[in-house]
Structure 1
Amino acid sequence: MAEPPRVNFLIAGVQKGGTTALFDYLGDFPDIALSQVKEVHFFDDEGQDWSRPDYAAYHARFPDPAGRPCGEATPIYAYWPQSLARVAAYNPHMRLILMLRDPVQRAWSHWRMEYARGAETQPFAWCVRHGRQRLFEAEPWGHHRAYSYVERGFYGEQVARALELFPREQVLILRSEDLRAAPAPALAAVRDFLGLPPAPAPAPRAVHVGSEFDYGSQLTAVDEDLLRDIYKGDDARLQMLCGVSFR
């Protein structure tokens, strides 16, 4: 490595889990250095030569931290294969923040985002049933950036992977519902996790509120029951690992 790690914390997951709100709130603290853009997408970049990664190019996306905790928020890192292993190779002392949201609501929100931007044309009910087969035609096998509505909700699997690579004290688990309902305690937890003293919390605000759109689909009770059943075992694993459950 040409230079020591500049980045020492990541909001590494999950997509549609409140990471934009957390990044936005952290930007109000002058004693935290953030990337120039929210999602840098370095450790999930399959075009990078991972035998000789260009960390200088990564560091160029950040201001001089001047002794401050320095981080970014790319929520695919917790899901994308090899991303967290690449993070550990870059900085084994990295602190990871995982923002988790009810996986059924997360899947529904993810689908709406992809449908609204035209990446998805199929209805939600089809996507969470037959559409999962599309991931086995993707590269890397079994993963997809857009169609992973169900797969990104396996939080127990993602937390287990993180804890295989990093000590438990380097991983902070937050619920997006808690950040939305009461930002101050959640932000206090983040500051403590980053080794910073208490500070007045920014005023609560709505961040990244979606616009009205005709999705042509609804999240039905049948769809929700299906997904709850799919996630049942993984949720039990999540609860065992970190005490968080969405049952």
Structure 2
Amino acid sequence: MNLRKMAPVGLRVQGRRAGVWWGERTASRRPLPDFLVVGGQRCGTTSLFRALMAHPQVLRPQLHKGVNYFDLHYDRGEAWYRGHFPVRGTDPRIRVFDASGYYMFHPLAPERIVRDLPDVRVIAMVRDPVERAWSAYKHELARGFEWERSFARALELEDARLEGEVELMRADPGYQSFNHRHHAYRRRGEYARLLAPFVEGLGRDRVLVVESESFFATPQAEYQRIVEFLDLDPFLPESFERYNARPGSGLDPGAAEWLRAHYTPHDEALGTLLGHQPFWRQAAHD
């Protein structure tokens, strides 16, 4: 039973505000994260987040799954960010982390992360970009953030919807673009391009790319790889659950074919980064 969720909404909001207020004033005793889960959106990051939480050496932010500091709230400052994390104890084996499905796609987040956390480790989850785009569209439609009833039409509108938004975000770091956050179905799947700033800024050895399909097919092996990357003690959760999945049926064949062709060079570039063809490209040739 989650007593926090049973509390009235107003009381929970007040409690979070009080927690942030106190955390900010004790920021000097609180760590910055040792590692980040940077996305991608609709790639299984919530499932990974829950699996990481199960590890006894891993601590999450106290008030939210993710703080969204490097993408949406950077103007609030480092003390505000630190205030979301628990006070670090004396055990040097403990790792603190933050997660946001928007960090990988936000145009300013990678450079902020590289500048402020030069020793951080980054985990990125990727998924068949065609299926990811379709899942994201259904997700935004269900939330009321998308009003086009045709996925093909939403893809046609993407460039117009996003035109000039990155320039506005760079000109005003406090500007939050609704269209960039909710209507970038095609662009969020161009993984190699999005991962490049992390690899270039932090080094290839500090960036771990996890293919969603592999994580759900062989979760124990992938989890062990993640644990080794984070230099944690060997551990396996009792079970691996899948969260926030949406049924994959109903994708228009024409839209799928168009996206598959678009992603061909992006998938090839990702394959170079991975050292092998992405899982979904291997499956297509089996």
**TM-score, normalization by structure 1:** 0.89
Partners in 1 of 2:225 and 2:127 — Cα distance? 17
| 1:58 and 2:58 matched | no
1:225 paired residue number = 257
| Residue-pair matches, total | 237
Q: 1:150 aligns with which of 177, 180, 186?
A: 186
1:166 paired residue number = 202
Q: Answer with 174-183 or 132-141: which moved more.
A: 132-141
1:201 paired residue number = 237
Please give the secondary structure, in 1, of the residue aligned with 2:98: strand
Please give the secondary structure, in 1, of the residue aligned with 2:264: helix
| 1:44 and 2:71 matched | yes
1:72 paired residue number = 98
Tell me, yes or no, if the aligned pair for 2:121 and 2:207 is still in contact at 8 Å. Answer: yes
Partners in 2 of 1:175 and 1:240 — Cα distance? 14
Q: 1:15 aligns with which of 33, 37, 41?
A: 41
Unaligned runs of 5+ in 2: 1-26, 171-176, 282-286
Q: Structure 1 segments of 4 or more deviating over 6 A?
A: none
Distance 1:179 1:65, change over 3 A: farther
Q: Answer with 85-94 or 235-244: which moved more.
A: 235-244
Q: 2:122 aligns with which of 96, 100, 106?
A: 96
Q: CA deviation at 1:39?
A: 2.0
Partners in 2 of 1:131 and 1:240 — Cα distance? 27
Tell me, yes or no, if the aligned pair for 2:31 and 2:88 is still in contact at 8 Å. Answer: no
Partners in 2 of 1:166 and 1:14 — Cα distance? 18
Partners in 2 of 1:83 and 1:128 — Cα distance? 25
Tell me, yes or no, if the aligned pair for 1:5 and 1:90 is still in contact at 8 Å. Answer: no
| 1:140 and 2:169 matched | yes
Distance 1:203 1:114, change over 3 A: same
2:32 paired residue number = 6
Q: Which structure has the highest helix share of the two? A: 2
Q: CA deviation at 1:61?
A: 1.0
Partners in 2 of 1:234 and 1:5 — Cα distance? 36
1:185 paired residue number = 221
Partners in 1 of 2:204 and 2:224 — Cα distance? 19
Unaligned runs of 5+ in 1: none
Partners in 1 of 2:257 and 2:215 — Cα distance? 26
Tell me, yes or no, if the aligned pair for 1:33 and 1:65 is still in contact at 8 Å. Answer: no
Partners in 1 of 2:115 and 2:31 — Cα distance? 10
**TM-score, normalization by structure 2:** 0.77
Q: CA deviation at 1:5?
A: 5.2
Please give the secondary structure, in 1, of the residue aligned with 2:69: coil
Please give the secondary structure, in 1, of the residue aligned with 2:238: coil
Tell me, yes or no, if the aligned pair for 1:156 and 1:241 is still in contact at 8 Å. Answer: yes
Tell me, yes or no, if the aligned pair for 1:125 and 1:223 is still in contact at 8 Å. Answer: yes
Which structure has the bigger radius of gyration? 2
1:236 paired residue number = 268
Distance 1:131 1:6, change over 3 A: closer
Please give the secondary structure, in 2, of the residue aligned with 1:99: strand
Q: 1:128 aligns with which of 146, 149, 155?
A: 155
Q: Percent identity?
A: 32
